[in-house]
Amino acid sequence: MSEARVAAAQAWLQQQESNLLVDLQTLIRFPSLESEPAPGAPFGAENRAALDWMLGQCEKSGMRTVNQDGYGGYGEFGSGDKEVLTMGHLDVVPVGPGWTYDPFGATVADDGYLYSRGAVDDKGPTMAMFYAARAVQATWPDVPVRVRSYFGCNEESGFACVHHYTKLEKPPTVGVAPDAGWPLIHGEKGIADFVIETKSGALTATDVRLVAFAGGQRPNIVIDHATARVTVSAAARAHVEAQLAKAWDRNITCAWEGSDLKIEAVGKAAHGSTPFMGVNAATRIFRFLREVSPLPDQTFYDELVKLAHPGGNGLGIAGADEPSGPLTANLGVTSFDRGIFRLTVNVRYPVTFHGPTLKAKCEAALGELTGGWSLVSMSDSKPLYFPLEHPMVKAICDAYEAETGEKRKPGTMGGGTYARAVENCVAIGTGWSGDGEAHQTDERLRVEHLYRMARIYVRVLVNLIGVAEKS
């Protein structure tokens, strides 16, 4: 019976492919960047306009709709206590320079790709999933569960939309967010920001005295630019100048202003979940200061280098597990202000680890250092993890294999999706090789891939309806 359901829904979908593309182009043309809040539009007028239009499409399809104060909203069909939830987001990141096509023009080029901000992340997959839901709705009038399509407006900069949703709604029976890799991500690492500080005299009672330090804007981005100023004592000046002549890092520039040495470093930005893919400018300065300082001053900078280790070694929290691999730690923000040196480290920890345990380990490790460091705060977003044998995981894998002929093992990741914020949900795949990367210039989605995603999503929904019904 389920195969007949899939065939009927996919046949409806095939007849609607041209409408799917046109509707996606319309949605993309809303420049739904976060902007100044307004009444009923907490993330700006364009996000609210995109949400209103999307809910209007739900109403045209005969779905029941709810607008959740402009944070997000949903359309729903079916009945019963069991629910299959899909979650997509309508907000996008800024565009930046260098685009070949208008980033909100929704241009379909001669190469068969749709170019636009949001094509891949996440308007394309969101619209493909919406049409998959419509296909099920059109061909399965007595569907035994509720199928709900949620649209959020703040995924890129805080998840306030989905947190608002969870305050108002019960968890679904099962749910998916089309915003990851194929066939699905069955584990998302825990995400924690460790803020550590010191007021130690090591900062002020040395021959190379720290006066200022700044680097980074967000914890989840590798620092690509950092600056520092140190005051060098007269006794240490000759030693420091001699070491400067031998300093090896050509990505650091420095200049004397009286007895002060101004330092600037350039690194390479990367996502906080993959700090080893970037080069941390703050760590460059730590190493540089260690290299040029007299021996008694080197201990403090040794400890800074340890604390910035991308594996969490200096924080005492390094480790790994079999499902999701090693812990990563990104030093994302540094500052020295009013006598306090502060480091904010964005940690992505394995799915079988526990935040409170990591906190205790970090406090113990800091207690062994000589720099007077302490953990002053720790945020903690718990991991998402479903074993491979979970019925929801199996249903999605089966759908992907049936549509593609490819047997692929679910993955894990250090990034976070809506799925981690809503119980009983996982993130599923979007796009294929050739489609542009999310957040990049000339983001693009092959039109045929849009249609292919929708076909797979139809089978995913049918399979998940079966899982929900049996739950």
SS3 10: helix
CA distance 273 to 187: 14
Residue 433: Cβ within 10 Å count: 6
DSSP conformation class of 182: S
- Nearest-CA neighbor of 461 among 77, 74, 50? 77
- Nearest-CA neighbor of 450 among 92, 90, 113, 148? 113
Residue 87: Cβ within 10 Å count: 31
Exactly one of 34, 83, 91, 188 is catalytic; name it.
91
CA distance 125 to 111: 20
Residue 3 known to be catalytic: no
- Nearest-CA neighbor of 51 among 26, 76, 31, 70? 70
In this structure, are residues 253 and 222 in contact, taking their beta carbons and an 8 Å threshold?
A: no
Residue 224 known to be catalytic: no
For 69-105, the DSSP string reads TTSEEEEEEE-SS-EEEEEEE--B----S--SS-TTS
Calculated CA dihedral for residues 117, 15, 150, 70, nearest 10 degrees: 60
Exactly one of 155, 207, 321, 443 is catalytic; name it.
155
Residue 180: Cβ within 10 Å count: 22
Helices (H), 268-387: 281-292, 298-307, 355-367
**Bridge partners, residue 209, by sequence:** 231
Residues noted as catalytic: 91, 155
